[in-house]
Amino acid sequence: MRMRWPPGGMSIRFRLILSYLMILGIGGLATSIVGSWIVSSTIMMQAVNSADNTLATALSVYEQQLAALRNTVQTAASGTTIPTYLASGQRPQIAAYLGSIRRNLAFDFLSLADARGRVIVRSPNESVRGDDVSRIGVVRAALAGSTASATEIVDASVLRSEDPVLPGRARTKLLNARGTAHFDKPEETSGMVLLAASPVLDESGRRVGVLYGGILLNGNFALVDRVWNLLFQDSQPSGADLGNVTIFQDGFRIATTVKHSDGRRATGTGIDAKVLSDLRSGSRDWSGRAFVVDGYHISRYQSIRDLEGRTIGFLSAGLLEGTYTSTRNRVILSFFGVATIGFISIIGITYYMIGNITNPIGEMVEATRSITAGRLDQEVCSTAHGEIALLANSFNTMLKSLRQMKADLEEWGRTLEAKVRERTEELGAMQARVAQSERLASVGLLAAGVAHEINNPLGAILSLTQLTLEDVPKEDPSRENLEEVVKQSERCRGIVRGLLDFSRQSEVRTDLVDFNRLIEETLRMISRQSMFFNVAIVKQLEPQLPPVLASRSQFQQVFMNIIMNAVQAMEERGTLTISTNHRPEQELVEVHISDTGKGIPPDQIDRVFDPFFTTKESGRGTGLGLSISYGIVTAHRGTLRVKSDVGRGTTFTMAIPVPSWPPQEAGT
């Protein structure tokens, strides 16, 4: 039946269509706006979180580089090579020794100054010496007796003294551009340097000099490229750089992954003027939308401070804004496209169905009024049949889809945030493990080299002294001094052997080992000593403990090291608890060794596995026992953890994987 225009108004058909379009338009527009806002917020939140993670990675790599420099300088300064050469006046040998360390570890310079701060030997610029370097902050701290490391601004004259090549690298042509920091000079000649210094002590503990070294950051792209490769190497859209990592000296770039259109690194370009203003106003870090050379990035900035706490530069990381905005725009356009197609389709269906309506439609009018009020939880209920019933069902389906779409978008946002948080935690744990492994690996390599260098002259000293003793009568006054030389030489040889054990240079054979039996054997060997007389030993050994593939002698050494440390920590009085258990779900065997000693302070617990670190009194240990134990356990694909409560005791937990059955051939 064709509906006609009623006198004085529109037809019912037209009014129904118009009313329905208004309802659908308002609901669709509101849903589209809310959906677009959720999508945009979620994507940009992901960009901010990614920028945070990028800066965290860059900071971690930067601090690892500075820590590696500090550890190397401290280890070299604390050895006996430099004091020995100094005592005998062997300057060429010192220069060769410093040159070897500098080349192996890619330092830009490594120099030795005397106790007044005047340079004795430089590497590589051996021709310049005698100048005063005590004005350098870390050198001044080392002259005061402490090892120090920091980032410092170094004048061109000082750089030239260290290496004539360095001033050329440090010289940076400054470029002024609209919207960035403005520079009043055409170029900068000073450089930003990672510096570390450590005092050199002779055998009597007297400070005889300072060893200091540095890495010039100007034009040094290794650090920023390392972070960029970790995060962006496999994520480049159509050849464009997804993100950037930059080191600023004051307000200009000295090392960056940002490039000009011709492919040159954008060194000398300025930081975003607003960012610089905020950072100089006292903020330690900054995050937001910043201009980077030729485009906007979602960026994070962190201040770099020298040893005295002055801000001398910034470390920044960011992600190309266009990557996220294009993704956001595509999603929103797709969202509106689907909504538009759906809207057009519904118009056609509605027009067709309303054309067949001949019965009362009051129920439909009431339903549309409710939906117009914004109550999307309404449903159209109709007792009619045919086309009206179909229209009601279609309308209800549409509302359900809109509610589901909104719920899906909200759930997607929550899921995305959870995944970002999970990845951030995994990255932090991985960086901690990498930092520990790299630190021990580098110290192990250095320890092996130092041990081999010391072993030959030490053997000669011991042999010649013993031969001399055979010809010296017992009543000779000098015999006591020679015997003391032999005693101390044998002690040094034991330390060298510990260094070699730590660096894992010897061949090891493994076999199936029962940890319960090995613990019993170890206790029988050492428990009869007087230091165990006032120690109660509690054993909680799991009876059916599976064997592990390991070196019996090495793990006996591990057990002995940890047990002796525990007894000494208790001052030979307390309770020592040793327990074992099997974790079949993880295929691990665990050993727990607990004491009731004084515990380890929280600021020292991360260093207990570092070589030469000890809390014992002087003469009661070399600080290598736990480092060697850590190396043995990790070499067997296991883990060694420590947990301590100050004043209540310490627990060491060792976890070793159970071999598959039948086990593989024992090897080295």
Distance (Å, rounded) from C-alpha 257 to C-alpha 58? 12
What residue type is assigned to position 342 of the chain?
G
Long-range contacts: 432-435, Cβ < 8 Å, 24+?
435/60, 435/64, 435/67
Burial (CB count within 10 angstroms: exposed 0-12, middle 13-18, buried 19+), residue 246? buried
Distance (Å, rounded) from C-alpha 570 to C-alpha 535? 9
Tell me, what's the pLDDT at 8? 46
The answer to whether domain 26-337 and domain 439-503 are alike in fold is: no
Distance (Å, rounded) from C-alpha 108 to C-alpha 192? 12
**Crossing angle of helices 81-88/12-78, nearest 10°?**
40
Tell me, what's the pLDDT at 451? 65
Distance (Å, rounded) from C-alpha 376 to C-alpha 370? 8
Provide the CATH number for the domain formed by 26-337 in this structure.
3.30.450.20
**Residues contacting 656, CB < 8 A, separation 6+:** 515, 548, 550, 588, 589, 590, 591, 633, 636, 637, 638
**Residues contacting 367, CB < 8 A, separation 6+:** 378, 379, 380, 381, 392, 395
**Crossing angle of helices 387-471/625-635, nearest 10°?**
130
Task: Decide: 335 and 36 in contact? Cβ < 8 Å.
Answer: yes
Architecture of domain 439-503: Orthogonal Bundle (1.10)
Tell me, what's the pLDDT at 481? 81
Q: DSSP letters along 77-118, please?
A: HHSSHHHHHHHHT-HHHHHHHHHHHHHHHT-SEEEEEETTSB
- Positive or negative, the CA dihedral 178, 183, 187, 193 is negative
Average pLDDT for consecutive 10-residue bins of the chain (668 residues)?
A: 48 69 76 74 76 85 91 91 88 91 91 93 91 92 93 93 93 88 89 95 89 93 86 58 85 90 88 86 80 83 90 88 72 76 76 57 57 61 63 70 69 79 68 55 58 72 78 79 78 66 58 92 81 88 92 88 88 91 92 92 82 63 74 89 90 91 46
**Residues contacting 345, CB < 8 A, separation 6+:** none
- The residues spanned by each domain of the chain are 26-337, 439-503, 511-657
Domain 511-657 has CATH 2.40.420.20: no
